[in-house]
Amino acid sequence: MYPRKFENLIECLRLLPGVGLKSAERYAFEMLQFSDEQIETFIQSFFDLKDGIRTCEVCANLSDDELCFICNDTKRNKHLICVVQSPKDVIAMEKTQEYKGVYHILNGVISTSKGIMPEDINIEKLVNRINDLTQEVIIATNPTVEGETTALYIAKLLEKKPVQVTRIAYGLPMGGHLDYVDELTLIKAMEGRRKI
């Protein structure tokens, strides 16, 4: 119904999560109104994203440099490590402005049904980060079956390490995701964390 090039743009926009056919069409029509400068900026941002974004060498957060802004922050408590599933979860935690430690991003969770095993996510690097100065590891994976499985697996791995391992409290609904939760719920979940 549309010209082929316009259809291609719609199909590309539909690759984004939560974007259906109607939204993709609306976005495509909006892009037709972009100036040449806006189009160049838009295209350049894609190239910058692909070529300029890397992962932090310490925590695996998104970064422009070898270390992310959190690992570079000398005011952060490096003895407190919060383990999350993805960089989106770091942003959700940072919005609370309550947590002052550092993070470790797993980039996934254990899911045997999907063929994702412990060696497929960033667990080994976490274990190697733990030293005598590490006081607590807070596991903040999503409260799903996969998140719980991953939390229990990590807790078991760290049993012999000289560190307290805690799990964030269940102020979060089962099946929920950190990046969709409001700040107050996250604050309460962090306050009510428990040893596992």
What's the domain range around 40? 4-52
Q: Nearest CA to 43 among 80, 9, 91, 85?
A: 9
Please say whether the dihedral angle defined by the alpha carbons of residues 6, 12, 16 and 22, taken in this order, is positive or negative: positive
Contact 169, 189 (CB under 8 A): yes
Instruction: Say how far apart CA 112 and CA 146 lie, in whole Å.
Output: 9
Kindly state whether residues 9 and 81 are assigned to the same domain: no
Kindly state whether residues 78 and 158 are assigned to the same domain: yes
This prediction's pTM: 0.77
pLDDT digits (tens, 9 = 90+) for 3-20: 999 999 999 999 999 999
Residues present in the chain in total: 196
145 domain residue, yes or no:
yes
Confidence of residue 110 (pLDDT cuts 50, 70, 90): very high
Instruction: Say how far apart CA 62 and CA 69 lie, in whole Å.
Output: 9
pLDDT of residue 171: 67
- To the nearest whole percent, how much of the chain has pLDDT over 90? 72
59 domain residue, yes or no:
no
pLDDT digits (tens, 9 = 90+) for 38-73: 999 999 998 888 888 899 999 999 999 999 999 999
Contacts of 93 (CB under 8 A, 6+ apart): 82, 84, 99, 103, 140, 178, 186, 190
